[in-house]
Amino acid sequence: MSDKDLRINEQIRVREVRLIRDDEEKQQGIIPTAEALGIARELGLDLVEVAPNAVPPVVKIMNYGKFKFENEKKIRDSRKKQKLLKLKEIRMQPKIDDHDLDFKSRHIRTFLGEGNKVKVTVRFRGREMAHTELGLDVLKDVLARIEGEYVMDKAPSMEGRFMSMVLSPKSKK
């Protein structure tokens, strides 16, 4: 439940509520809303509806500003722990030299080792379009050089003047 769904103080428009005091963490029972609001005001705190679907709704006496801050802090911390997946792209041509292919394969292996996805692309120019099988051979050669370190997300396919495939790192179990 987000903070926007919570009703506080005068926004609570039901006759009776089940009251829980935050400082004692125990139920006070079912009391009229006006009385619960009075208790909250006496303590200098807010009356927050935590379970609006219950009959009667459950409310808690707490410091709403502090509660909201703690929730935002939890959300921020959970975002920090998420791993952002990046898609790296390696481009080559069908008439690539052996050494260049080794070099690019090492880069692909490095990217996969860092946990990134890799899009391997072969670009065809001019008359090379008549021999797309050469591009497929290059991609198969790359796969042979990085054997066992990848999971293929997308098999080699033509997209206009480009033939590409997408690889992701093998999960470590």
Q: What are the mean pLDDT values of the chain's consecutive 10-residue runs (173 residues total)? A: 68 83 72 85 85 84 85 86 81 92 92 89 91 90 87 90 91 60
DSSP, residue by residue, 109-143: HHHHHTT-EEEEEEE--GGGGGGHHHHHHHHHHHH
Enter the tokens of residue 99: 């050494």
Q: Which pLDDT belongs to residue 94?
A: 92
Q: What is the pLDDT of residue 28?
A: 74
Q: What one-character-per-residue DSSP string does 49-82 give?
A: EEETTSSSPEEEEE-HHHHHHHHHHHHHHHHHTP
pLDDT of residue 58: 87
Structure tokens at 162: 């480009």
Whole-model pTM over 0.85: no
CB 37 within 8 A of CB 9: yes
What is the structure's pLDDT at 24?
Answer: 63
Q: Tell me what pLDDT residue 23 has.
A: 64
Listing from the earlier edge strand, what are the strands of the sheet with 26-32?
A: 26-32, 16-21, 58-62, 46-51
For residue 1, what pLDDT is reported?
53
